[in-house]
Chains A and B, each alone.
Chain A
Amino acid sequence: MTEPTETIARFGDDERLLGIVTLPAQPRADAPACLLMNAGVVHRIGPHRINVKIARALAALGIASIRIDLSGLGDSPPAAGGVHSSTQTVMDLQAAMDHMERTLGIHRFIVFGLCSGSVHAYWLAQKDPRIAGVVMFDSYVFPTFKTHVLRRWSRLRTQSWASLARKPLEWLRRKPRVEPRAEGEESTDPHMKYPTRADFARVLNDLTGRGMSIYLYYSASFLEKFNYHGQMHDLFGREPFMQRVRYDYETDVDHTVTSLHAQRKVLASVVDWAQSVAAGSSGSST
C-alpha cells in the first residue's frame, strides 16, 4: 500500500492555526474529509496518538483529513479574544474546512470528537452545513434510574463483607451532599451549557433528519452516569434519531483509549463508519 502524504497547513486569521493534512495516495471520489482536533489539552495527535492513527487509516481508504490544534492548544497560539472559547473553536474548525475547500476542493466533512472534542463537534454540526457526519465519543450523558441502580450494584460487588457491614452506619452519619446538576447546567458560554435531554433529542432529530450521520460512542469511563447498553434506548427509544444513528457502548474501551486493544477497536469502528458515510449511507446500527 502506498503511504499517505502529510503536509503542514497554516490557516485561520494570520495563518495562526497549525494543522497536519493527511492526503491519501488514491483519493476516493466525492469522499468527505475528516476533521480531527485536540481532546482536552492534548495536542493535535490526540490521546495516545489516536488522531494520527485515524488519519492514516482513513487515508488508506482514500479519505483525507486534517488534524488541528485549536486556538491556545498544542502549537496554535491563543486567539485575540472577544468571543467565548467554544465559539472560537467553531470558528477554528470552520477555518480548517475553508482551508481544505480552498486547497483540495473538498466541500463535505466528517468530524471525530473525543472528550471536549465531542462537544465541539455537536455545536459545529449545528452551525455548518458542510458537516456530513459526526463521531461523538463520550459526549453528553443522561443517567436513568437503572443507571443509578447498576452503579450502586457494581460498587457493592467490589467491596468486602466487612466494608458492606459498616455501610448502614456510614449512611446514617452521612451529611446531605448538594451536587451540581449536569443537565441544563448554567454557563455564560452558550456552547458550554449542558443540554437538557429534550434539547439533545431535538438537536439529534434535526441533524439526522437533514441526513447527517451521527455516531454516538460511549466508553466505560463514566459508569456513574452511563453503564448499560440499553441506556440510550431507555432514554430516547421513541425518538426518530435513534433509528438513524450508529450507537456503541463498549465496556472494554476507556475514555482516552489507553490500551492498544481499545485503540484497535475504536479505529476499526470509526473507519467503518467513515466508509459508510463516504459511500452515502447514514451508518446507523443501533
Chain B
Amino acid sequence: MIAFHFGPAERPLFGLFHPAEGGTPDDRAVLLCNPFGQEAVRSHRFYRVLAERLARLGIATLRFDYHATGDSPGDDLAGEIPGWVADTRAALRELVARSGARRVVCVGARLGAVMAVRASTGLPELRRIVLWDPIVNGQDYLELLRVKHVEALESSFSLADPAWREQLAGDPAAFTDEAMGFAMSPALRQQIRQVGPHSLPLPPGVPVQVIVRDDDAAVRAWTATFAPRGIAFQSWPLAESFDWTAEEDRNSPLVPPAALAAMMKAIRD
C-alpha cells in the first residue's frame, strides 16, 4: 500500500494506492469513492479490507479522501459535491496513470454513488459502476442524517436531553448544519437536497451493479427504470444492512462478510 498526495497543487488529495500484488495478471483497476461524514469513517475498514483483497487478486485499487474530508486538506465546511466530483475525476486519472489499467471499475457507497457516477462519465477506461446502498433521494437522506444525529447524541451522552427530540420533531431547521460530528455548509445541504435519480446520469453502455438492502424501496424503484432505458444491470441484494451511522464502539460489524462477498462479486464477476 502506498500513501501519497495527488491532484492539483492548489487542491491536493490524500490517497492510498494498493498495487496489484499477485493472482492472475489483470488489466482492471478499481476506484473506491467514500460516503459522507460518519458513514465514511464507518466504511474505512471495509474499504481497506476490500482493497487488500482485490490487490491480492491482481487488481490495483485506489482509496482517497475528498477535499475537506479525512486526511485531505480543508475544513469540514469546505466540502461540496461539485468539488468532490472534480476530486474523483482526479483520482480516476491517478488510478489509470499508476496502474496502467485499461479497464476501470468505479465503486461508490451511499453519497459516494453520486461522485462515482458523475465523475466516471466519459472516462474511456470505464467498464463498470458498482453502487452500494446509493443515495437516490437527497431530501430523505438529509432527514435521515438529522434523525441519526439525534440518535448519536442520545447514544453518546449518559442522559439524553428531551429537548433534542422536541427540536427534531418541531423544527425542520434543527440539526441541519451538522450531521453526526461533521459540519455541513448551506451549499452542501442544498446540493444533497437536489440529489435524485436525475443526478445519477448513468453513462450509456456501462453495466451497473447495485448492492442494496432488500427493503430499500427507493433504490429498487430507481433500478426498475434501468431495463426500459437499456442499462445493463445486476442487483446484489443483502438481507441485512450495513450500519452506516453507528459509532465504532457500538457492537455492529465493520466488515460484514455478506457485504464483502457481494462487493467482490459485483466488482469481479
Contacts and interface: CB of A to CB of B under 8 A. Distances in A.
A158 B159 contact: yes
B238 interface: no
B161 to A, nearest CB: 9
Interface residues of A, number: 35
Interface centre among A45, A49, A74, A227 (most CB of B within 10 A): A49
Interface string B102-129: 0000000000000000000000000000
Interface centre among A18, A227, A254, A258 (most CB of B within 10 A): A258
Interface string B182-212: 1100000000000000000000000000000
A260 B184 CA distance: 10
Interface stretch (B53-61, B69-77, B134-142): B69-77
B81 interface: no
B4 A221 contact: no
B86 interface: no
B153 A254 contact: yes
A259 B44 contact: no
A75 to B, nearest CB: 6
B248 A258 contact: no
A256 interface: yes
Contacts of A258: 149, 152-153, 156, 180-181
A8 B5 CA distance: 8
Contacts of B41: 42-43, 45, 47-49
Given A223-B159, A258-B153, A45 B70 contact: yes
Contacts of A18: 3
B156 A49 contact: no
A11 B177 CA distance: 38
A256 B180 CA distance: 10
A8 B181 contact: no
A40 B249 contact: yes
B262 interface: no
A220 B153 CA distance: 11
Chain B interface mostly: mixed
A48 B182 contact: yes
Contacts of B158: 220-224, 227
B39 interface: no
A3 interface: yes
Contact of A221 (B14, B69, B157): B157
Nearest to A263: B181
B45 interface: yes
Interface in A216-236: 220-224, 227
A224 B178 CA distance: 28
Contacts of B5: 6, 8
Chain A interface mostly: loop
B254 interface: yes
A8 B159 contact: no
Contacts of A220: 157-159
Interface in A45-85: 45, 47-49, 52, 74-75
A44 B165 CA distance: 32
A129 B252 CA distance: 39
A6 B74 CA distance: 12
Nearest to A18: B3
A93 to B, nearest CB: 19
Contact of B248 (A6, A41, A221, A257): A41
A221 B181 contact: no
B213 interface: no
A255 interface: yes
Contact of A49 (B4, B16, B76, B249): B76
Interface string B26-68: 0000000000001001001100100000000000000000000
B178 A260 contact: yes
Given A223-B158, A254-B153, A258-B156, A75 B3 contact: yes
Contacts of A259: 153, 178, 181
B44 A49 contact: no
B58 to A, nearest CB: 20
Given A42-B41, A42-B248, A49-B70, A154 B159 contact: yes
Given A18-B3, A41-B248, A256-B247, A52 B153 contact: no
B260 interface: no
A34 interface: no
A47 to B, nearest CB: 7
Interface centre among B41, B159, B177, B178 (most CB of A within 10 A): B159
B159 A44 contact: no
Interface centre among B41, B70, B158, B180 (most CB of A within 10 A): B158
A20 interface: yes
A256 B156 contact: yes
What 4 A-B pairs are tightest by C-beta distance, nearest first? A48-B181, A223-B158, A254-B156, A8-B3
6 contacts: A18-B3, A47-B41, A47-B247, A258-B152, A258-B156, A259-B178
